[in-house]
Structure formats: C-alpha cells, structure tokens
C-alpha cells in the first residue's frame, strides 16, 4: 500500500515531467533555425566592442619564460575617459593564467594610455599560446574590449 502511494506521489510525476519536457524540446528543436546551445556564453561574448576604441600597445608576438609581458592600453573613445580596466591572460584551453585589475583609471578629456601610474607586467612561466583580453568598464557600466595573442617559448 505504501509503495503504491510513493510511486503515485514521487515517481510518477518525475516520469511525466521527463516525458513532457522531452516532447516540448523535440517540438522546439524541429523548427528551422533552432538549435540547442548548452554553453551559450564564452569569455568573448557578453560585452560589446566599439570600432578601434581600445587597443593593446607593446604586445610582442613572442616572449620567453623569463621575459615579462608588459603592455599599455590605449583608449580612443572619450566616453571611456574614466573607468575600471581589467586585463586577463588565457591559455589555449581558455583557462585564466593571470589577471590584473586597475580601478578608477581617469585620464581627463583627452585620449590616453592606461594603467595610470602603474603597469601590467606578468611573467608567464609555461610555454604555449596565450590570449590577452583587455576590458574597460566605464562609470556608466558600458564596456569596450580588445584582445591579442602571443606565444611563450
């Protein structure tokens, strides 16, 4: 008697939910132009980029394991004259190798290079191919970004 109630109360609703969910997903995915993207965002999506409004300066194509990656960021958009700068280096497997955050980078109305009164300098001690991403977030929470690639030997 108890096992029938458990079946009716717990197991049967789970079975109906799976069957109903499968039928709905099958119907949706059969329509043209539909696809199931289980991982909809990567680190490159989710922020907008303006045309050439930010660029990485002094990024070499190749470094050694003992040479630091030293860069500056140039902003060409006056609406981003103040904000937070985030620089992240990713490995070829999209793992974060190192990051740098520089807050309240304000350089007035003129265009300028950042970080101000600081520098991004990181040593990558393992050989491979890497991607560097620089993002500037304004006080209005708008974001511009750029990326570059380099190798370490």
Largest CA distance in the chain: 80
* Percentage with pLDDT > 90 across the chain: 24
Residue 119, phi then psi, degrees to nearest 5: -145, 150
Which of these ranges, 16-25, 32-41, 126-135, 143-152, has the smallest mean pLDDT? 32-41
pTM of the shown model: 0.62
Residue partners of 47: CB distance under 8 A and separation at least 6? 135, 143, 144, 145
Q: Classify the phi-psi angles of 86: left when phi > 0, otherwise alpha if psi is within -120 to 50, otherwise beta.
A: beta
């Amino acid at each position: 008697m108890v096992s029938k109630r458990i079946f009716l109360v717990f197991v049967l609703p789970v079975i109906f939910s799976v069957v109903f969910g499968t039928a709905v997903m099958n119907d949706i995915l059969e329509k043209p132009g539909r696809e199931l993207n289980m991982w909809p965002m990567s680190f490159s999506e989710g922020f907008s980029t303006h045309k050439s409004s930010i660029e990485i300066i002094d990024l070499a194509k190749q470094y050694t394991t003992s040479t630091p990656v030293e860069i500056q960021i140039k902003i060409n958009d006056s609406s981003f004259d103040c904000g937070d700068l985030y620089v992240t280096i990713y490995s070829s497997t999209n793992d974060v190798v190192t990051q740098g955050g520089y807050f309240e980078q304000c350089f007035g109305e003129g265009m300028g290079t950042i970080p101000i009164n600081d520098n991004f300098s990181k040593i990558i001690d393992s050989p491979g191919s890497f991607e560097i991403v620089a993002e500037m977030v304004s006080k209005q929470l708008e974001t511009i970004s750029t990326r570059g690639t380099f190798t370490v030997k």
